[in-house]
Amino acid sequence: MRGALLISTVLIIIGGLAGNYLRFSEVRPGRPADFSAITYKTGEYIGEERLFSESSYDILKADTTTLRRYVDAENTAYWLFIAYFKSQKYGSQIHSPKHCLPGGGWKIERLEPFILPLSNGTTKDVNRVFIRTQTSQQLMFYWFETRSGSIRSEFDIKLDLMKNSLFLRPTDAAFVRITVPIINGDFESATTNAVEFYNTLHTEIESALPFSN
């Protein structure tokens, strides 16, 4: 009995020391995100930087962000938002749109996994979301980027954080969101438009984030 108690105590101490070490140790990224690498003019799209309110940035707690509004030749708006977190370990973990959208007055009508085809022949596993208010309908793609690649699930981003912490790798991550209007209720056309828009910026977005070699 006494031996079992001793072993349990030792394991608790070791677990506590290991947890404390993982909590306060940090491997810094080799370089930060650089959103200046993303052009404001690509193909038929012309963009400009926009800003959220200061309170929104205080809640978000990202280290750097970009919010772009692009328009095409028909003046249709395409939105790109990227938030980069150099560490997720100190109260700056990524907020899920599942929680933020309803708080902003948007109703999530449909959320499903989507395989986003890329012009280089590869794909990304992302979320495709149909959101609406009383006056607007939007289609959104969103996903997360980490040292492990593209991640769709909020649960998987937590697992990835734990894995990178255990292997003493940087825990930086980015949230990527593309939003386009749904015109005349045509969900599939909006999907096609979003895919085409993202592909014009895909290479530059990858270069702007510090995860690729």
Q: In this structure, how many other beta carbons lie within 10 angstroms of the beta carbon of residue 115?
A: 10
Q: What is the pLDDT along the chain (213 residues), one digit of tens a residue?
A: 555 555 555 445 444 434 444 444 556 666 889 999 999 999 899 999 999 888 888 878 888 999 999 999 999 999 999 999 987 665 556 777 887 787 677 899 999 999 999 999 999 999 999 999 888 899 999 999 998 889 999 888 888 888 877 777 778 899 999 999 999 889 999 999 999 999 999 999 999 999 875
Instruction: Give the pLDDT confidence score for residue 11 in this predicted structure.
Output: 44
Q: Within a domain: residue 54?
A: yes
Tokens of 179: 């939003």
DSSP string, 76-138: -EEEEEEEEES-SSSS-PPPPHHHHHHHTT-EEEEEEEEEEE-TTS-EEEEEEEEEE-SS-EE
What 3-state class would DSSP assign to 46? strand
Q: What is the predicted pLDDT for the residue at 198?
A: 97
Q: What is the CATH number of the domain that holds 64?
A: 3.40.1000
Within-domain flag for 9: no
Which residue, chain included where needed, has tokens 């280290």? 63
The whole model's pTM is what? 0.83
The range of the structural domain enclosing residue 70 comes to 29-208
- If we measure between CA atoms, which residue out of 80, 106, 47, 65 comes closest to residue 178? 80
Q: Is residue 171 part of a domain?
A: yes
The whole-number pLDDT of residue 160 equals: 83
Residue 5 belongs to some domain of the structure: no
- Would 153 be classed as within a structural domain? yes
Q: What is the DSSP letter of 35?
A: G
In a domain, 2, yes or no: no
In a domain, 137, yes or no: yes
Domain total in the chain:
1
The answer to whether residue 18 sits within a structural domain is: no
Q: Are 151 and 160 contacting, i.e. CB atoms less than 8 angstroms apart?
A: yes
